[in-house]
Structure 1
Amino acid sequence: MSAAPQSRATPWPAVPDDANALAANVWPDAADRDEHGVLRLGGIPATTLRERFGTPLYVLDEDEVRARARRTLAAFRTAAAAHDVQARVYYAGKAFLSTEVVHWVTDEGLAVDVCTGGELAVALAAGADPSRLGFHGNNKSVAELERAVAVGIGSIVIDSWIELERLAAIVERRDAQQAVLVRVNSGVHAETHDFLATAHEDQKFGFTLQDAAAAVARIRELDGLTFVGLHCHIGSQIFGTAGFRESAARVVELHAALLEGGDVPVLNLGGGFGIAYRPEDDPTPIEELATGIVEAVARECAVRGIPIPNLAFEPGRAIVGKAGVTLYEVGTTKPVEVDESFTRLYVSVDGGMSDNARPALYGAQYTARVASRTSDAEPALARVVGKHCESGDIVVDAEYLPGDVAPGDLLAVPATGAYCFSLASNYNYVPRPPVVALRGGEARVIVRGETVDDLLARDAGLTAPTEGNDMPVLSEGIETK
């Protein structure tokens, strides 16, 4: 085994005692290995899942999603009840959305937030109560706002002056009444990647604290809009409560000032709570987060002598992230001598940045394990890469895998339940994988995978030849004249 280099911005992972072990904080609670060393997810061998559904494959543990939804809701309701207020928890549609998942989280008592007309359509198709939906987004179109008002959406988060007036015109024309929140930037920059931090001033979301007061004043002038509260989201993949405490202090100050002009029944402090992507990650337990954030709001309200408002939260990936595992098949392996001190093993799989864009987008770090067997081979420093024509097509930047990992092995990457399916693409014309849900020892497809024929079916050159072009276009599975 070659030694890992020491000069690197992100520390190399420690050489594991066992390159087959499953870190409990990263994998779904029900993940284990059977007597043959095969990874089991929800009691089903990963090899069985490959045989039935192929690879790449998104696997989602329904029981884990439901359990995390219940636990999160209980944590915030308990923390709020200690101060005689109520709490609502929104599931983030952008993390992972399908009609099945909407059923799961609404069954467990969560509301749902959406940020596009497409996400709204999925939630409605699942039968979600429109009054328990919130609509986010920095550029909601007139058509999207029209639809939201028409179905009776619970709340719309106003993000700009243009959107405010756009919505005002819609409700006036419809003679409707719409509850709204105003999104504010508290100026608190979460300790996360710049692309994930969303409350510093130089970014696209929301109003400054100064402008928010004027926006609320304008809303209160309009008969069709009902101002119900402020919304502030400081970022994503956040550990700890320090950022939330500071943000709460600033937002409660504005909340107190707005009380002079009327009721402000709700304060939505967002969320974006982190999960463990690698064994060394140590996310804050949800109960500790809930208690810490609610107590911070209570303290700030007490200092100002105002009542605590009802609270709302958006945990984001914390509900669905850990419940997901992506399965790949190894296609090639290649030892590459980086310098005289070490060799890195490149392990190429049959997916990549088209099914998990996060490493390429903002350097997200994952872990991986061989899923089809265990091995006594010495651990080798590996980089798991995809099949796309990009040097940045990296799935797992640095991981120790058994040195005998070989073509045909099944590889599993955990903590892929959030933002992998949502960000998936057809780069290099690779079809998007199916999503399979597990519950009670059974597996079922909840989102069908694409085929090459699906991709070709969208090609207008095949379905509607250019005028004057009499040459037949032939493609397997595509009907042509």
Structure 2
Amino acid sequence: MNLTREQGVLTIHGHSLLDIKEQYGTPLFVYDESLIRNQCRRFHETLQASGLTYTISYASKAFTSIQLFKLMQEEQMGLDVVSEGELYTALTAQFDPQKIHFHGNNKTDHEIEYAIEAGVEYFVIDAIDEIERINTIAKRKNSTVKAVLRVNPGVEAHTHEFIQTGQEDSKFGLSIKHGLAIKGVKHIQEASHIDFYGIHFHIGSQIFESTGTIETIQIVIHWLKENNIDIKVLNIGGGFSIKYTSEDISYPIEDGIKAITQTLIDTCNEIDYKTPEISLEPGRSIVGEAGITLYEVGTVKSIPETNKYISIDGGMSDHIRTALYDAQYELELVDREDNQTENVTVAGKLCESGDIIARNTALPVSTKRGDTLCVKSTGAYHYSMSSNYNQMLKPAVVFVSEQGVREVIKRQSLEHLIANEVQ
């Protein structure tokens, strides 16, 4: 996100973050709409240059909203959904169901039925028993559905163990090594109301280079050739990294995707295998760096010779990744610049010792109650993982562009908080 200072105050596209805070309150998620669109277009342009037939499906779990889905449709993106709720949100946004595919390692019968009725493009099958359940429901609905099989390639991505998904010991996919994947393919091919459409894999998240994906493509294509399996589409998942701090690397979309597509072309040519359509599922890399969170500083507590705590008006209810993964973030005061800084701990207001936003982070010595704090790169897996723990209200979300500021999700109210309670 291109944050700049005007008269000492952080702005985005000429809009003061203090003015935005004044209008919408805090905690507040602020997205750079132009950056989201630009990320979509970078993927499109790179894939178009490859000459391959391709699709790009935004991974909805990163951040879901009606207005975001409308934006994705405008940018010619498809959608990857993993639940009834994500599908419902997409359909409410009038997203074309023929550009939606349904993921998940434990789809319920109700979800399968709902997705078939909606007319999704295809299912990503994740288990052997799922094949018969989808086939039975499709038969009952007098429908034939398309499906790709998620395979487990046995490749470990270089990332946090909680967000690795391609290693042998994973809840996702069917193992190539242990023969479960070929069993799954045969079951789908034999199913009367399922068309076998292709193969899916995803090796993890926050992946900053292409080596693991390249290796997996080679493994999968050779496995397909050896077993005489023809596919129309190869879905390579997503997981492309973003820059949370200066030490992180944003995935090099142009060079990385070029290396991936060229590997697919070369591998298929080398073994005389028909090159399939390629499909991607970027999520974090589309919205992650486009989002920030604004908080208001509250209690400032200094413990002599120990630590200084800067407390904010949000916390793990809207920023869970630090507690989950010890994720690191860069923080900055919105109100002013001050070269005299000190290392502090920024803490949330929830009743948990682990409710920490950042440890040992540099903030101005002058930071005080009422100041506005900006946490960068919170566009992915923040609002979507937010909760009502401690009966905290979920924040509002706004999109900012050169055209203006627009609210896309209203702040949750106290009435909404207990709307489903039986009194």
TM (normalized to structure 2)?
0.97
The answer to whether structure 1 residue 358 and structure 2 residue 327 are counterparts is: no
CA distance, structure 1, for counterparts of residue 315 and residue 133 of structure 2: 40
Name the residue aligned to 1:477: none
Equivalence map 1:24-423=2 (5 Å): 28-29=1-2, 31-35=3-7, 37-79=8-50, 81=51, 85-209=52-176, 210-258=179-227, 260-261=228-229, 263-337=230-304, 343-376=306-339, 378-423=340-385
- 1:419-439 Cα offsets, whole Å, 9 max, x none, are 100000011111010111112
**Residue of 390, 396, 413 corresponding to 1:434:** 396
Following superposition, the deviation at residue 336 of structure 1 comes to: 3.0
- RMSD between superposed Cα atoms in Å: 1.3
Following superposition, the deviation at residue 70 of structure 1 comes to: 1.0
Contact kept in structure 2, 1:159 and 1:182, CA below 8 Å: yes
Identity of aligned residues (%): 39
- 1:420-464 Cα offsets, whole Å, 9 max, x none, are 00000011111010111112242121111112232233332xx3x
CA distance, structure 2, for counterparts of residue 337 and residue 87 of structure 1: 59
- 1:297-317 Cα offsets, whole Å, 9 max, x none, are 223223322121110011220
Decide whether aligned partners of structure 1 residues 337 and 252 sit closer, same or farther in structure 2, where only a CA change above 3 A counts. farther
Output the amino acid matched with 1:233. H
- 1:132-167 Cα offsets, whole Å, 9 max, x none, are 001100011111100111121101000001211110
Following superposition, the deviation at residue 397 of structure 1 comes to: 2.4
CA distance, structure 2, for counterparts of residue 457 and residue 230 of structure 1: 42
Name the residue aligned to 1:17: none
Output the amino acid matched with 2:48. R
Contact kept in structure 2, 1:248 and 1:296, CA below 8 Å: yes
Q: SS in structure 2 opposite 1:383?
A: strand
Q: SS in structure 1 opposite 2:154?
A: coil
CA distance, structure 2, for counterparts of residue 111 and residue 212 of structure 1: 26
Output the amino acid matched with 1:67. N
Output the amino acid matched with 1:50. K
Runs of 4+ in 1 over 6 A off after TM superposition: none
Contact kept in structure 2, 1:70 and 1:109, CA below 8 Å: no
Q: Which runs of 5+ in 2 are unaligned?
A: none
CA distance, structure 2, for counterparts of residue 123 and residue 320 of structure 1: 17
Decide whether aligned partners of structure 1 residues 458 and 150 sit closer, same or farther in structure 2, where only a CA change above 3 A counts. closer
How many pairs were matched up? 421
Larger radius of gyration: 1
CA distance, structure 1, for counterparts of residue 220 and residue 14 of structure 2: 46
Contact kept in structure 2, 1:44 and 1:441, CA below 8 Å: no
Output the amino acid matched with 1:316. G
Output the amino acid matched with 2:35. E
Contact kept in structure 1, 2:300 and 2:310, CA below 8 Å: yes
Q: SS in structure 1 opposite 2:48?
A: helix
Q: Which runs of 5+ in 1 are unaligned?
A: 1-27, 464-481
TM (normalized to structure 1)?
0.85
Contact kept in structure 2, 1:179 and 1:226, CA below 8 Å: yes
Output the amino acid matched with 1:52. Q
CA distance, structure 2, for counterparts of residue 315 and residue 135 of structure 1: 15
Following superposition, the deviation at residue 337 of structure 1 comes to: 4.4
Q: SS in structure 2 opposite 1:271?
A: coil
Q: SS in structure 1 opposite 2:324?
A: helix
CA distance, structure 2, for counterparts of residue 222 and residue 166 of structure 1: 10
Q: SS in structure 1 opposite 2:162?
A: coil
Following superposition, the deviation at residue 194 of structure 1 comes to: 0.8
CA distance, structure 1, for counterparts of residue 278 and residue 415 of structure 2: 48
CA distance, structure 2, for counterparts of residue 428 and residue 41 of structure 1: 32
CA distance, structure 2, for counterparts of residue 150 and residue 454 of structure 1: 30
Contact kept in structure 1, 2:297 and 2:373, CA below 8 Å: yes
CA distance, structure 1, for counterparts of residue 232 and residue 224 of structure 2: 10
Contact kept in structure 2, 1:185 and 1:205, CA below 8 Å: yes
